[in-house]
Structure 1
Amino acid sequence: MRFLVTGGAGFIGSAVCRRLVANPQHRVINLDCLTYAGNLASLQQIENYPNYRFVKADICDSQTVAEILRDEDIDVIMHLAAESHVDRSIDGPEAFIETNIIGTFRLLTAARAYRDSLPAERAARFRFHHVSTDEVFGDLPFDSGIFTEDTPYAPSSPYSASKAASDHLVRAWGHTYGLPVVLSNCSNNYGPFHFPEKLIPLVILNALDEQPLPVYGKGENVRDWLYVEDHAAALEAVATRGRPGQSYNIGGRAERRNIDVVETICRILDGKRPRAGGSSYLDLITMVSDRPGHDRRYAIDPHKTETELGWSADESFESGMAKTIDWYLANDWWWKPIRAQKYAGRRLGERAG
C-alpha cells in the first residue's frame, strides 16, 4: 500500500514511518513542516530506504498535498500532524486552532477531491485515518469509569478542544461526503524519540542532569500509558483493516499515577545509572503547583481494537519503561542537541489564558 503520513517526523509519526517502511511492499511519504517537535534525526535509520520519501510542507498547503496524493497514487492518509502539548496550548492556543482544526479541514478537502478523481475500484479502498487522543473525552473520577468509543466528548484544554473539533470534522466528511474515514483515540504514549519536555523523557533527562524532577500538584493524576511501538502497530491495523466510519480506542491497560511513574523511573535509574554518593534519584522529586484545568484521570478501553483488529500491546508498563530508559541512556546523540536548545526557558502551562 502507498501511505501519506502527516506529522511523520514527530514522536508517534516517526514510529509509524519506521514500522511501515520495514515492509518493502509499502511506500511511505512523510509530510512534515518540522515545527519544534519534528526531528528528522528520528528517521535516520530509514532516510535512505527506496520506499520512503520525506516532503517538508504544511498540511495547510492544499496544493502540495494534492500534488503528493496524485503523484504518489496514495491509498491511505494517516493524519498525525498536530500541535500536541497541553501546556503549550494553555500558553498559546492559536497554533493549535490553526494546525489541528484548519489544517485538518484543508487535508480533508484535498482528500475528498483526490478520492473523487479515482476510478471506482481505487476509490473504494482509499482510507483517511485520523489519529486523535483520549483527552477529547475529558475527565474521569479517580475510582470509576473508562473511556469507550461511545463516551461523550468533554474536552478540558485548548489542545483537547482542538482535537475534538478535528474529530468532528472527520466524522462529518465521512457522513456528508462519503469519505471513507477511520478514527483512533489513544492514551498517553512513551518510548524512544519522545520530545524531552514531556513527562517521562523530562524526568529521565533531568535525573541524569541532577536537576529537580517536577511533579504537578500531589502527583495523583492518573494516565493510561502506551508504548509507542505498540501504538504504531495498532495504527497500521486501524488504517488497513478498520471499518470506514468507525473509531477505535487504543490503550496500554497500564493506568498509573504520575507520582508512581516518576518513582518507577527513579528506581530503574538507581539500578542502571546510580548517582554519585549513593543517594537515590527519588530525592530529586519536586512537587510544583498544578496546571490550570488538569484532568484527574484518563482510562481507555481498547477492547474493540483488540477483538476486531486482533491487536494487543506487547509491552507492559514495566518492560516498556525499562526499554525507554535504556534507549535514552544509549542515545544522547539524539536528545543532547534538543536539550541544549533550552526549548523551555520557563515552565510551560502556568498561564490560564
Structure 2
Amino acid sequence: MTFEELNIAEPVLRALAEKGYVTPTPIQEKAIPVALEGRDLFGCAQTGTGKTAAFALPIIQHICRERIPSPRKIQSLILTPTRELAIQIGECFTDYARHTPLRHCVIFGGVNQRPQTEALAKGVDVLIATPGRLLDLAAQGFVSLDAVRYFVLDEADRMLDMGFIHDIKRILPMLPKRKQTLFFSATLPPAIASLSRSILYKPVKVEVAPPASTVDVIRQSVCFVEKKEKKEQLIHLLQEDRSDSVLVFSRTKYGADKIARFLTKAGIRSEAIHGNKTQVARQRALGNFKAHKTRVLVATDIAARGIDIDRLERVVNYDLPEVPETYVHRIGRTGRAGNDGVAVSFCSEEERPLLREIQKLIGKTIPEMQA
C-alpha cells in the first residue's frame, strides 16, 4: 500500500515524496483511514512506529480542506509529555505541511515564553504543547482552545508516569465537547484505560507491534556484572566496540551525569540528558549526538522518551529498568527501519529479579554476552 492509496491529498503527498516516504508503516496504514473518516481512535503503538504521521497527516488534510478562519484560531491541539517529543512533532508538521498554508506552534516549559506567545499572537492552526506550559499560557490569556476540532493525546502512559494526568483533566474542560480525539499509548495500565473511556466516543482501536514482537529483530545480550564493576565494564565495552552512536540508559539523573563524566575522562565523547538539564543543554546534547560530534548519549527514561535517532547502532542498559515494558521501549530505539540493532544489558545480583520479569514479558531468555 502507498500513501496515495490512503487518499492523502496531493500537497502532503508531494512533501512525503520529497522526504523519501512512499510506503506507510503498519500504524499509519491502520490509523490514517480511521482518522480521515473523523472517527475517534485509540492507537496502541510505541515510539518509532511512525505514529506521529498517523495523526499529523489526517489533521493537516482536514484543516486544509476546510476553510482556515481569519483571524486564525487553534483548530488542533496535540498534547505530548516531553519537550523533546513536542519539538520532534513540530518538525514533522514542518515537513508534512510545507506545501500547505497551515501554521503550527510548539510550546513547552523551561524556556522564555515570549517567542511562544508572539507566535500564538500571529495565529496558529495547530498547537503542539506540553501540559504545564499550556496551562500557564492559558491562565495568562495567551491560549484559547474553544475552536479545537482535533485533539491528540500522545504517549498517554508516559503522561501518567510523569504525573501529568491531573493537568490533562484540567485541560479537557477547556476543549469543545464536539471534536475528534486521537489517543495514543504504548501500554494500557488501568488509569490509562479509564482515561481513554472518559474522553473517547465509540473509538476504533488500532494496535500494532505488541511489545514482545519488537524485540525479535534486535540482537540482545546480558552481561552479569557486580554493581561496582559496571563502570570498568562499560568503558571496556565501548573501547572494544566501535559503534559510532551508543545510547546508554541510567535509572537516575545523578547516575546519568556520573556515567557521562567517567566516560569523558576515559576519552569517550559523552553527554548526559535528563530532566534537570536546561532545555538549551538538552537540545545541544541531542544535536551533538545526532551529528556524531558526541559518540555516547547517557539518558534517563523520561528524557529519552520520544527521541528518534536514525541508525542508532547500540543501546546499553547500564541499569535495568524497574518496569519490564520500559526495557522494550529502551531497546526499541535501535534496529529501526531495517537497520541492525544491538542491545546490551548490565545485570548485577540485585537486578536479577528485574531480568526475570523482562524475560517473562518478551517470552525469551536473553543470552549472556560473549567475551
Under a length normalisation based on structure 2, what TM-score does the superposition of the two structures give? Answer: 0.34
Query: TM (normalized to structure 1)?
Result: 0.35
